[in-house]
Structure formats: C-alpha cells, structure tokens
Amino acid sequence: MMGLAKGLKHTLQNMSKKKVSYNYPDESIPLPERFRGIQKFYPEKCIVCNQCVNVCPTDCIDLTGKKNPDPDKKGKIIETYNINFEICILCDLCTEVCPTEAIVMTNNFELAEYSRDELFKDLQWLDENDTNVRKEN
Ligand code: SF4
Ligand code: SF4
C-alpha cells in the first residue's frame, strides 16, 4: 500500500512538469545548430576541385566532372556525385574543405533503409536533400 502511495505521489508530482520526450516521428526533434546530418549538395556551385574526395577519411565520395560546355566559361562542371552512407561517418570534413560550399551538412538524420544498396546516394538525391540545411557551415 505504501509503495502504491509513493508511486502515485511521484506520478502526480511529475504530471505538471515540462515534458522531456517528443512525439517523434510526428513531432520533429529540435537539433543544435552545428548538428552534422546528411549532406545537401548544390551541383551548380561545384567546381570539381576534388578537395572533398581527397579529405574524406573513409573514401565514400566519388565524383566525375566534365569540361564546361559553355565556351565563354572556363573550368569544369560536375557530372556525377555519389556518397556511400554505408561508410560515411558524417565527420563534416568534406563540407569544411569545400571552397564554394557546394556541399553542406543538414539536420536530416533519417537514413534508415531495408537494403544497404539504398544507402548509396547520388547527385539528384543529395541535391533534393534540402530540408533543414544548416545555416552556418
Ligand atoms: S562527412 Fe566525412 S566521411 Fe562523410 S563524406 Fe564527408 S568527409 Fe567523407
Ligand atoms: S570540394 Fe566542393 S567544389 Fe570541390 S569537388 Fe567537392 S563539392 Fe565540388
């Protein structure tokens, strides 16, 4: 009987306190500004310098570029850009070295899939991953 009273007292005391849990996934979880989530890629900003590929500690980025078809413009444009999220450790190094901020971290952390093949994300997927892009890169 004492145990029941103690439990009831604890429940009543905590009923009026602010909730510490979220109704996820219906309610999104507030994340810190510097959260390192799945990258967003801006193909139009990429100058195909390969710095992100060279710095990546897990070799999970591969890209190809081609000569800019516009005769008035120099340099290359991006052709393919893939990240293998099976081995990406979301370390942020690729976004840190990118001189044009073509690749940035986001607050998106939802990458659960039934197949490992689905963790291989291409340019189009990374371009469309633009929810909650981190303000400060
Ligand atoms: S976050 Fe790190 S591991 Fe992932 S692609 Fe960028 S550099 Fe590579
Ligand atoms: S570092 Fe940036 S600009 Fe250079 S290839 Fe990577 S994404 Fe493109």
Model pLDDT for residues 72-94, shown as the tens digit of each residue: 888 999 999 999 999 999 999 99
Number of domains in the chain: 1
Residue 123 lies in a domain: yes
126, pLDDT greater than 90: yes
Supply the CATH number for residue 105's domain.
3.30.70.3270
130, pLDDT greater than 90: no
Ligand 2 atom closest to Cα of residue 41: 7
Give the burial class of 108: count Cβ atoms within 10 A of its Cβ; 0-12 exposed, 13-18 middle, 19 or more buried: middle
Residue 4 lies in a domain: no
Residue 114 lies in a domain: yes
Query: Which SS3 state, helix, strand or coil, does residue 73 take?
Result: coil
Report how far residue 20's alpha carbon sits from residue 79's, in angstroms, rounded to the nearest whole number: 46
Ligand 2 centroid–CA 43 distance in Å is 9
Ligand 1 — pocket residues by CB below 6 A?
A: 55-58, 60-61, 83, 88-94
The pLDDT score that the predictor gives to residue 131 is: 77
Report how far residue 117's alpha carbon sits from residue 103's, in angstroms, rounded to the nearest whole number: 22
Task: Tell me which of 35, 53, 58 to substitute to probe ligand 1's pocket, judged by most ligand atoms within 8 Å of the beta carbon.
Answer: 58
Domain housing 85? 32-128
Residue 25 lies in a domain: no
What digits encode the pLDDT tens for the residues 98-122?
999 999 999 999 999 999 999 999 9
Residue 66 lies in a domain: yes
Q: Are 47 and 99 in contact (CB under 8 A)?
A: yes
